[in-house]
Structure 1
Amino acid sequence: MTDIISVCGLAKSYGKKEVVHPLNFSVKKGEILAIIGPSGAGKSTLLRMLDTIEPASEGEITLFGEKVTKHSTHNLRNRMGMLFQKTVLFDRTVEENIALGLSYRHVSHEERQKRVTEILEEMGMSEYARRSSRTLSGGEGQRVSFARVLVTKPEILFLDEPTANLDPVATKLLEEMILHENRVNKTTIIINTHDQSQSQRLADRVAVMMNGEFVQIGSADEVFYHPTNERVAKFVGVQNLFTGVVRNGNATSGGVVFCPAPHVPDGIVQIMLRAEDISLSKTEIDPGRISVQGRVVSSDRAGAFLHVLVDAGCIFSVICPFRQTGDTYDPGEVVHIAWRTDAVHLA
Structure 2
Amino acid sequence: MTDIISVRDLSKSYGKKEIVHPLNFSVKKGEILVIIGPSGTGKSTLLRMLDIIEPASEGEITLFGEKVTKHSAHSLRDRMGMLFQKTVLFDRTVEENIALGLSYRHVPKEERRKRVEKILEEMGMSEYARRRSRTLSGGEGQRISFARVLVTKPEILFLDEPTANLDPGATHLLEEMILHENRVNKTTIIITTHDQAQGQRLADRVAVMIDGSIVQLGSADEVFYHPANERVAKFVGIQNLFTGVVRNKTAVSGGVVFCPAPHVPDGIVQIMLRAEDIFLSKNPIDAGHISVQGRVVSSERSGAFLHVMVDAGCIFTVVCPFRQTETTYVSGDIVWIGWRTDAVHLV
Q: How many residues align?
A: 347
Query: Within 2, Cα distance between the matches of 1:303 and 1:255?
Result: 33
Secondary structure of 2:8 counterpart: strand
Query: Within 1, Cα distance between the matches of 2:189 and 2:327?
Result: 44
Secondary structure of 1:18 counterpart: strand
Q: Paired residue for 1:125?
A: 125
1:212 equivalenced with 2:212 (yes/no):
yes
Secondary structure of 2:30 counterpart: coil
Query: Within 1, Cα distance between the matches of 2:145 and 2:64?
Result: 25
Q: Paired residue for 1:291?
A: 291
1:226 equivalenced with 2:200 (yes/no):
no
Deviation for aligned residue 1:326: 2.5
Secondary structure of 1:157 counterpart: strand
Q: How does 1:46-61 map to 2 (within 5 A)?
A: 46-61=46-61
Secondary structure of 1:320 counterpart: strand
Structure 1 residue identity aligned to 2:186: K
Query: Within 2, Cα distance between the matches of 1:68 and 1:13?
Result: 19
Q: Paired residue for 1:189?
A: 189
- Deviations 1:6-55 (Å, cap 9, x if unpaired)? 00010001110000011000000000000000011100000000000000
Q: Paired residue for 2:104?
A: 104
1:246 equivalenced with 2:242 (yes/no):
no
User: Among the aligned pairs, what percent are the same residue?
Assistant: 85
Query: Within 1, Cα distance between the matches of 2:100 and 2:208?
Result: 34
Deviation for aligned residue 1:171: 0.3
- Deviations 1:168-202 (Å, cap 9, x if unpaired)? 00000000000000000000000000000000000
- Deviations 1:124-162 (Å, cap 9, x if unpaired)? 110000000000000000000000000000000000000
Query: Within 1, Cα distance between the matches of 2:219 and 2:172?
Result: 22
Structure 2 residue identity aligned to 1:126: S
Query: Within 1, Cα distance between the matches of 2:101 and 2:196?
Result: 31
Secondary structure of 1:227 counterpart: coil
Secondary structure of 1:81 counterpart: strand
Query: Within 2, Cα distance between the matches of 1:90 and 1:321?
Result: 45
Query: Within 2, Cα distance between the matches of 1:306 and 1:239?
Result: 14
Query: Within 2, Cα distance between the matches of 1:302 and 1:328?
Result: 14
Q: How does 1:259-338 map to 2 (within 5 A)?
A: 259-338=259-338
Query: Within 2, Cα distance between the matches of 1:182 and 1:286?
Result: 44
Query: Within 2, Cα distance between the matches of 1:18 and 1:315?
Result: 39
Structure 2 residue identity aligned to 1:54: E
Query: Within 2, Cα distance between the matches of 1:93 and 1:148?
Result: 12
Secondary structure of 1:194 counterpart: coil
Secondary structure of 1:285 counterpart: coil
Query: Within 2, Cα distance between the matches of 1:223 and 1:94?
Result: 40
Cα root mean square deviation, aligned: 0.5
1:75 equivalenced with 2:75 (yes/no):
yes
Deviation for aligned residue 1:325: 1.3
Query: Within 2, Cα distance between the matches of 1:286 and 1:189?
Result: 45
Query: Within 2, Cα distance between the matches of 1:268 and 1:191?
Result: 37
TM-score in terms of structure 1 length: 1.00
Query: Within 1, Cα distance between the matches of 2:262 and 2:66?
Result: 48
1:237 equivalenced with 2:237 (yes/no):
yes
Query: Within 2, Cα distance between the matches of 1:69 and 1:59?
Result: 12
Q: Paired residue for 2:32?
A: 32
1:113 equivalenced with 2:110 (yes/no):
no
Deviation for aligned residue 1:259: 0.3
Query: Within 2, Cα distance between the matches of 1:251 and 1:17?
Result: 42
Query: Within 2, Cα distance between the matches of 1:107 and 1:286?
Result: 67
Query: Within 2, Cα distance between the matches of 1:107 and 1:25?
Result: 34
- Deviations 1:280-301 (Å, cap 9, x if unpaired)? 0111111111000001001101
Q: Paired residue for 1:147?
A: 147
Query: Within 1, Cα distance between the matches of 2:301 and 2:328?
Result: 10
Q: Paired residue for 1:8?
A: 8
Query: Within 2, Cα distance between the matches of 1:211 and 1:315?
Result: 29
Query: Within 1, Cα distance between the matches of 2:267 and 2:259?
Result: 15
Query: Within 1, Cα distance between the matches of 2:187 and 2:138?
Result: 25
Query: Within 1, Cα distance between the matches of 2:70 and 2:160?
Result: 24
Query: Within 2, Cα distance between the matches of 1:322 and 1:40?
Result: 34
Deviation for aligned residue 1:324: 1.0
Deviation for aligned residue 1:327: 1.3
Deviation for aligned residue 1:262: 1.2
Secondary structure of 1:34 counterpart: strand
Query: Within 1, Cα distance between the matches of 2:181 and 2:313?
Result: 50
Deviation for aligned residue 1:304: 1.2
